[in-house]
Amino acid sequence: MALTAVKGCNDILPGESGRWQYIEQTARRVFELNGFGEIRVPIMEKTELFCRSIGDATDIVEKEMYSFIDKGENSVTLRPEGTAGVMRAFIERKLYAEDPIAKLYYMGPMFRYERPQKGRYRQFHQIGAEITGVNDPLADAQVLNMLTLFFREIGLTEPTLQINSLGCHECRPAYRSTLRGFLEERMDHLCDDCKRRFATNPLRTLDCKVPGCVEMTVGAPSVLDHLCSGCNDHFSRVRRYLDLSSTPYSINSRMVRGLDYYTRTTFEMVTGLLGSQSAVAAGGRYDGLISQLGGPNIPGIGFAMGLERIALLISNQEFASFPDLFIATMGSGERDVAFHLMDGLLKSGIRVEMDYEGKSLKSQMRRADKLKSRYSVVIGENEAATGRASFKRMSDGIQTDIPLTINAIQLLIGKSQQ
């Protein structure tokens, strides 16, 4: 194969795109119901934006970014996630000036230079939502309820909500050193990865899969026991609101984030059905991000969900649609008649296919069958002359003789539609 797609980049073919449209439409409906408006931002940003928001020391920034120098010698990067660009726009376009409370959603491709595997690609797609300007845990709860509603609407009960609190800039550093102290004593028993994590991100040792590490961290101090009173109060109110709305969740005090900007509430929708990619949606609060990017001191909370992963979870559902009518023709003069008829029917919203190339009637009928057309009609000399034709219902072969007019056809097709 001479020309192939870039590694880890996929084509979504017509047979599959219906599934994607369904996910996107459901998200739009649920998010807009909750008062969110779509924001469309570039898929490319200055590299610096991601370094400053996601964090210089994260894996995303250190090794996964698609960055390059453009002809103006600026370093630009294909966005590895959506929040940074949305917040950049929020600040740059001064959306906060009119209303500090913004509820925004976005969808589109993201890019990370990783080895592809199940449910993870170099170009992947996310749908995300953000609320700015609300400190109150009500915002956290609304976001979580909306996410839960989305999965219910999409027909999935499997992913379950897990929540945690990572504390704030006050209490997290203290917890970090407490945890380090705990780990230091067990250093010798930790795996090599965890020894490295000890330095870079000690919280990550808590969800290491190596049995030895799991064993060693059994009695590890929990973030939730080390929250400051503000964070503690915030987290308990989030839980209260979730209980109030009967939103199912579980607390996972070992849940960690890969991006630096998260504070307080973090959450994931997790599933056991996607191999090692368990998270189908994830997010959290990011109270310091906007000011860190040079904007006003406004809090935020949001999430992103992975379209590929959701598409895998609903891959058993069917989304195909079929023609209402297939017009077969006998000669070139009749094809003119058929084309004119097709045009009129299309303009009145009836989905029609016809033969394009003057094939045999047999071939045309086979095609009508293959396309799963509901009806077919043959237009020959007779029909063209009399203006009447037999419309065949493909499911049972029953033919109905009606005039070749838009109205009559509309009536026939509309009638059996219900």
The binding site for RNA (CB under 7 A) comprises 4, 7-8, 58-60, 64, 81, 112, 114-121, 124, 126, 193, 197, 201, 204, 208-209, 256-259, 268, 275-282, 304-306, 308-309, 330, 359-363, 365-370, 376, 378-383, 389-390, 392, 394-397, 399
Q: Which is nearer to RNA, 115 or 415 (CB)?
A: 115
DSSP state of 171: T
| Contact (Cβ atoms closer than 8 angstroms) between residue 304 and residue 282 | yes
Q: Which is nearer to RNA, 24 or 64 (CB)?
A: 64
Cβ at position 132, least distance to RNA in Å:
19
Dmax over Cα atoms in the chain, in whole Å? 95
Cβ at position 201, least distance to RNA in Å:
7
Q: Which is nearer to RNA, 243 or 369 (CB)?
A: 369
Beta strands in 342-398 (DSSP E): 352-354, 375-379, 388-393
C-alpha count within 13 angstroms, C-beta hemisphere, residue 89:
17
Cβ at position 13, least distance to RNA in Å:
11
Cβ at position 123, least distance to RNA in Å:
9
Q: Which is nearer to RNA, 167 or 202 (CB)?
A: 202
Rounded Cα–Cα distance for residues 92 and 393 (Å): 59
Which residues on adjacent β-strands are paired with residue 40? none
Query: Smallest Cα–Cα separation from 289: which of 87, 130, 105, 137?
Result: 87
Q: Which is nearer to RNA, 121 or 235 (CB)?
A: 121
Cβ at position 199, least distance to RNA in Å:
11
Q: Which is nearer to RNA, 348 or 390 (CB)?
A: 390
Q: Which is nearer to RNA, 95 or 123 (CB)?
A: 123
Q: Which is nearer to RNA, 95 or 167 (CB)?
A: 167
Cα distances (angstroms) measured from residue 376 to each of 18, 105, 344, 368, 415: 25, 44, 16, 7, 16
| Three-state SS at 126 | strand
Pair of tokens at residue 51: 């370094």
C-alpha count within 13 angstroms, C-beta hemisphere, residue 217:
25
Pair of tokens at residue 14: 């017509």
Cβ at position 209, least distance to RNA in Å:
5
| Three-state SS at 352 | strand
Rounded Cα–Cα distance for residues 27 and 153 (Å): 9
Query: Smallest Cα–Cα separation from 106: which of 180, 176, 28, 175?
Result: 28
Cβ at position 71, least distance to RNA in Å:
26
Cβ at position 268, least distance to RNA in Å:
6
Query: Smallest Cα–Cα separation from 224: which of 239, 209, 213?
Result: 239
Cβ at position 364, least distance to RNA in Å:
8
Query: Smallest Cα–Cα separation from 401: which of 387, 389, 385?
Result: 389
Q: Which is nearer to RNA, 254 or 359 (CB)?
A: 359
| Contact (Cβ atoms closer than 8 angstroms) between residue 226 and residue 174 | yes
